[in-house]
Amino acid sequence: STQPGQEMRAGNVHLQPFHRVLSASLSRRFPEAIAEAGDTVGLTIDTLRDVERGASALVLLCVDLTEQVLSEAASARAHFVVTYSPMPHSPFTTLSTDDVLGRIVLGCAKHQIAVHSVHSACDAASGGVNAWLARSLARGVVRPIVKHPKVADAGQGRVLECDEATPISTVVERLKALLGVRFLRLALAAVVAPEALAKAQEFLTVKTVAVQVGEGATLLRGWTGDLLITSEMSHADVVAANAQNVNVILTGQSTIERAYLQYLRQELESEFADSDWNVLFKCSTDCNPLSVV
């Protein structure tokens, strides 16, 4: 076997630059082939900057590569940014400092920072965000809601078939701990008086749980199970799910992704612990733009 940074070719060790080694690792975890059509994933901003063997390299992980995150990366002299959301998120014909996209792309080029976006490839991967959350909730069998036609174990969303019926209160507490939040939005399929909500969560149990990061209505509309966990759904879709006797938990946009990046950071730290570089993986200070007040 070879360490990150070394690739065997014709019996010789072929040395790869740091940013290509890290990007290749991310592509193995989150293959571009399983991303949604038209999504911007993979090494989206390359660099001419290299890191010498034995030297230190700093990698920032973020949900959104904003100007604030770019400033943080530049100040820390980061070599690489792993972003969940696409960057650039749309095609462009010109790069200008008159718009945010142009300033970020040009800023990355100026400071020689490589960027790799994972987005929908991470959503669909067997070790991606949906699979991670489903496996972390309870013991059981996890499978894609919609299987990828060519890549085994990949696909859209995840369904968890719990080994045992689990009280909704237990799922809620586990989810809060995983995501590091104090509040979630819960819509029970049963009509419950506000003063009886806590008792109802303990009484009602679930065995089949669907997970979909992002806006889950399109994929999950019409799904029949016990509990839906997604980032956002419209009021009408929540009502429709409840009418089918499906309970719903909404986490809010970027909450699941932000928690997953902490897990990914640990996975990458383990992988690169014995690499050719001293790599520091750090989650950026970027945060959810919305606050609960």
Among left, alpha and beta (phi > 0; psi -120 to 50; other), residue 39 is beta
pLDDT for 88 equals 83
Residue at token pair 């995150």? 69
Cis peptide upstream of residue 88 (ω within 30 degrees of 0): yes
With 80 as the cut, is the pLDDT of residue 3 above it? no
With 90 as the cut, is the pLDDT of residue 243 above it? yes
Per-residue pLDDT tens for 129-144? 999 999 999 999 999 9
What are the CA-CA distances from residue 216 to residues 29, 60, 220, 267 (Å)? Answer: 23, 28, 6, 27
Question: Quick one: pLDDT band at residue 5, thresholds 50, 70, 90?
Answer: low
How far apart are alpha carbons 144 and 151 in whole angstroms?
11
Question: Quick one: pLDDT band at residue 218, thresholds 50, 70, 90?
Answer: confident
Per-residue pLDDT tens for 44-83? 999 989 999 999 999 999 999 999 999 999 999 999 999 9
pLDDT for 8 equals 38
Q: Is the separation of the CB atoms in 187 and 238 below 8 Å?
A: yes
Q: Is the separation of the CB atoms in 265 and 193 below 8 Å?
A: no
pLDDT for 40 equals 92
Per-residue pLDDT tens for 153-200? 999 999 999 999 999 999 999 999 999 999 999 999 999 988 999 999
Of the candidates 58, 64, 32, 63, the residue with the CA atom closest to the CA atom of residue 112? 58
pLDDT for 95 equals 84
pLDDT for 221 equals 81
